[in-house]
Amino acid sequence: MVSMIPFGLLSGFAGDQEIRITKLDETGFGFRLCKENQMMASGNTKAGKDKTKTGPQQLFRLCFYDLEKGEYNEVKISFYDLKKETDEPSEFYEKFWVFVNQPDYKQAVQSLLRQYNRYIHLKLEEDDSGLAKNMTGYPGELDQVRCESLEAQMQIWDEEVQAVVSEATSDGKEIWKKLNAELALELDHTEMYADYLRLSFAEFLKKYAENSIGICKKLLQSERKPKWLYIGNQFCHLLFPERKLLFEIIEKELQKENIEFLKLTGQTKVSERINLVDEFNSNPNKKLFLISLKAGGTGLNLIGADMVIHYDPWWNISTENQATDRAYRIGQKNNVQVYKLITKNSIEEKIYDILKKYHKDEDYNLNYLITDDIVTFFLSINEGNLVTMEDLYKISGILNAKIKDMVLVNQEYRFSFEMEK
């Protein structure tokens, strides 16, 4: 018997509802079902009977992934016995075991276990390159270039860039002029943030160039100037600037581009806030209002705005919604557009996909908090406010994380997930 087969290798359905299969062998499979879901009956059920005490007979479908063919094979379970398991009771879900007597099911299980055992052995004995080569024939070793030092690695990279430049340049002109390419700088650690705020842009570029090598240095020393700044570190969210620092970087960038704006932060006096709001709502030349979320999230009437941009996701969705409502108020004559800036392939993007599920209904108020490698979701207990085990496993799959903890504190569910390292 094998327990907790990965989602990608095996998925199951009872009718139209996806179920989480927890274990299986050649005689059948086990699964969990949230207690609030009355789809299944307790006790034994025979296929072919129209009704049970609690609901209609369900058709099970299991989808087995064939690692060798790279495709799914669906097996419909038409003949089975259903038994409720009573060991290790839980307040969240019930466990069932389905006895199956079908040749195609037995054959599919045997094939899955044979391929899965091979995968596990390779996973333990080989690195990712060896695993890819043995499973698919892909020459993973060609993807890796090993260097004895960082300097040697940078030299190889610089030579490859130079080769691309030479190949793409046919008339002696610089490649960035020929292709009309735009340059961008990456600000990815605290020293860079401090230098950018402290120095003029010309001084900052000079210092940036001094710490660069090869073609990057030549580009920065040329007449071409960077048009874009990429802020943050894609490998470590702890190196992303704090909210106050990010606010200051945006402010300086607006000044550099000669864009007029108003600013409201926690340090702005109450009397001054009223004057700023009045000026923004009445002066058509003041088209941009830079506001910190917590300082301007409540008590303001900004009907002069018809576009709201959340430049940094906040863990409390209600706080974001309150900030949006500063523009979407009585007296607003235009449609209000709301944008949230989320980095592609980031943890925020994955969390946003999860939040969308729970905010289709106003009863849901799902918030989150990221600390180190732990993501915790908070959900208040209201009527109809339910997170099933299937939901938790789906969230785990989206985040590529394992469920760490589930607790009930002060009428609030707290679900923690530990990110894979």
The full length of the chain comes to: 421
Q: What is the pLDDT of residue 44?
A: 39
Confidence of residue 172 (pLDDT cuts 50, 70, 90): very low
Helix, coil or strand: residue 150: helix
Q: What is the pLDDT of residue 182?
A: 66
Q: What is the pLDDT of residue 288?
A: 92
Domain region containing 154: 150-239
Element (H, E) at 230: strand 228-231
Confidence of residue 316 (pLDDT cuts 50, 70, 90): low
Q: State the total domains in the chain.
A: 4
Q: What is the pLDDT of residue 213?
A: 67
Same domain, 411 and 386: yes
CATH of the domain at 36: 2.40.10.430
Same domain, 23 and 131: yes
Q: What is the pLDDT of residue 362?
A: 47
Give φ, ψ of 196 to 5 degrees.
-65, -40
Domain presence at residue 248: no
Work out the average pLDDT over 321-325: 83
Percent of the chain with pLDDT over 70: 73
Q: What is the pLDDT of residue 258?
A: 87
Is pLDDT larger for residue 55 or for residue 234? 234
Work out the average pLDDT over 203-224: 75
Same domain, 45 and 167: no
Same domain, 113 and 208: no
Q: What is the pLDDT of residue 99?
A: 93
Last residue of one domain, picked from the residues 312, 340, 368: 340
CATH of the domain at 328: 3.40.50.300
Work out the average pLDDT over 246-261: 86
Domain presence at residue 7: yes
Q: What is the pLDDT of residue 235?
A: 57
Q: What is the pLDDT of residue 98?
A: 92
Domain presence at residue 254: no
DSSP, res 237: G
Domain presence at residue 290: yes
Residue 89 scores a pLDDT above 80: no
Q: What is the pLDDT of residue 28?
A: 93
Same domain, 233 and 287: no
Work out the average pLDDT over 393-398: 76
Last residue of one domain, picked from the residues 340, 362, 381: 340
Confidence of residue 383 (pLDDT cuts 50, 70, 90): very low
Same domain, 29 and 127: yes
Same domain, 6 and 85: yes
Domain presence at residue 322: yes
Same domain, 173 and 278: no
Element (H, E) at 13: strand 10-14
Give φ, ψ of 321 to 5 degrees.
-65, -40
